[in-house]
Amino acid sequence: MSSSDRLLFNRQASVHHLLGGGLFADVILWRDKNFTMAILIITLALWLMFERSGYTFLSYVSNVLLLLLTILFLWAKSAQILNRPTPPIPHFQFSEETISEIAAIIRDRTNTFLSVSHDIALGRDPKMFAKVAAYLLLSSVIGSITDFRTLCYTSIILALTVPVAYERYEAYVDSSLIKGNVKLKKLYIRFDEEIIKRVKKWILEKINSVD
C-alpha cells in the first residue's frame, strides 16, 4: 500500500493546503499561536459574559455602540470647546465597483438557491433533495439539543481543536478510518449475501407461487 493510499480519500494535499494555505489555515492549525490563542480567549470570554450576565447579542452590541458613540460625541464637543484635535476617525465609503461586486455575488448565490429549490420542488433532483432533507433534519436535531449561541461557541472551539489534532495524528486517524471502512464494506457484503439475497429469493418464490 502506497503512502497516498493510506491517506483518507487517497488525497495528496496536506491539511494546511486543504484549508487554503493562508492566514485562515495558519490560525486553524495554530501556526500563528498568538492569533489563535487570542481568538480562543475572546470566544471563551464572550461565552462566559453572555451566559453569566444574561445579555443577548443584540443588547450587548447596542450597549457597546451607544457607549462608543457617547464617548466620541463628548470627545468631539470637548475638542471644539478646547480647540483640540477631533477624534481620529477614518472616513469609510464603499465605491460603486465594490457595491456592484457584492450585489453580483448575492444575485448569483440567490439565483443558484432558487434554481436548486425549483428543481427539488418539481422532483427533478432526488439526490439534492436527499442531501437538503438530511441537512435540515440534522439542523433540527442540533437545534433541539442546543441554542444558536452555544452552537457558535462550540463550532469555534471545534474548529480550533479538531483540525490541529487531526494534523498531529493524521497517519493514525487515516489508517483507523480506512480499516474501519474496509470492515464496514465486508459487513455490508456479508449482510447483502445472507439477508438481502435471501429476502429477494423469498419474495420471488412467493410471487411465483401466487402465479
φ, ψ of residue 3 in degrees (nearest 5): -65, -35
> pLDDT 10s digit of each residue in the chain, 211 long?
444 445 555 666 777 787 777 788 888 888 888 888 988 898 888 888 777 777 777 887 888 889 999 998 998 889 888 888 888 877 777 788 889 989 999 999 999 989 888 888 887 878 888 888 888 888 888 888 877 778 888 888 888 888 888 888 888 888 888 888 888 888 888 877 777 777 777 777 777 776 5
Give CA–CA dist 86/167, Å, rounded: 50
Q: pTM, whole model, 2 decimals? A: 0.55
The burial of 3, by beta-carbon neighbours within 10 Å (0-12 exposed, 13-18 middle, 19 or more buried), is given as exposed
Residue-wise pLDDT for 73-93, tens only, equals 998 889 888 888 888 877 777
Give CA–CA dist 161/30, Å, rounded: 9
Give CA–CA dist 210/48, Å, rounded: 69
CB atoms within 10 A of CB 129: 15
